[in-house]
């Protein structure tokens, strides 16, 4: 019985690897680099990209965003997602690797402060690079209150991420541009615009619509 189970598990693993290798972006990357692309592990990962630009200091936006980020992580982890954190202002910074442990996440979220401009493109590029060789559900959730420093570069970075199988969600306050949020997200329904005093609740609601496992992943 154990031998039969081992054979089944091995077969499923091989099938999942084959499906990964057949993805168009994998083929293109292998052709460009001349090296095989192998996923490190299968799982469910979401990166929170937090806007920490100066305008987030207005009113209680940054405080709402922090509370929302913690609530988002709790909801995401209930859905078996590991949660990572990237902040962006004039520059983007990778703050925390995806994990299921609350203490480090909460501590790093509480340290966020608002100042500088809105280099959203750099944040998306960091998340894309971190998720590049991961298998399974891969999601970026962007929290912002306005337009990025470079709209074109931001949309290009988002498009590159999507071609690598990464879902993009976007939530903005009443300062944000609704059409831009919709353009940024993978699908219109993955974007949301809320009043600034509703930002915490809005961020948590985004975790509730995180993509579930696909049928192929459930069978693998």
Average pLDDT estimate for 129-146: 94
pLDDT of residue 29: 75
* 135 three-state secondary structure: strand
In eight-state DSSP terms, residue 55 is G
Pick the CATH number of 42-211 from 3.40.50.920, 3.40.50.2000, 3.40.50.410, 3.30.420.10: 3.40.50.410
Nearest CA to 165 out of 185, 143, 136, 129 is that of: 136
Residue whose pair of structure tokens reads 């975790």 in the numeric block: 207
Asked if pLDDT for residue 7 goes beyond 90, the answer is no
The pLDDT value recorded for residue 37 is: 67
Domain ranges of the chain: 2-37, 42-211
pTM over 0.75: yes
């Amino acid at each position: 019985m154990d031998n039969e189970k081992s054979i089944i598990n091995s077969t499923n693993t091989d099938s999942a690897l084959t499906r990964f290798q057949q993805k168009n972006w994998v083929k293109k990357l292998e052709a460009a680099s001349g090296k095989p692309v192998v996923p490190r592990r299968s799982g469910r990962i979401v990166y929170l990209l937090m806007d920490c630009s100066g305008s987030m200091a207005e009113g209680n936006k940054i405080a709402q965003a922090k509370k929302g980020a913690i609530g988002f992580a709790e909801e995401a982890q209930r859905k078996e997602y590991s949660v990572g954190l990237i902040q962006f202002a004039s520059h983007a910074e990778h703050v925390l690797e995806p994990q299921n442990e609350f203490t480090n996440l909460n501590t790093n979220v509480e340290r966020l402060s608002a100042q500088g401009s809105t280099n959203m493109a750099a944040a998306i590029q960091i998340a894309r690079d971190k998720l590049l060789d991961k298998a399974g559900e891969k999601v970026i959730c962007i929290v912002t209150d306005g337009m990025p420093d470079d709209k074109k570069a931001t949309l290009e970075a988002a498009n590159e991420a999507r071609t690598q199988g990464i879902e993009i969600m976007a939530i903005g306050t009443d300062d944000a541009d609704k059409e831009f949020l919709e353009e940024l997200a993978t699908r219109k329904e993955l974007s949301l615009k809320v009043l600034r005093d509703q930002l915490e609740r809005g961020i948590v609601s985004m975790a509730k619509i995180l993509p579930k496992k696909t049928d192929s992943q459930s069978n693998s």
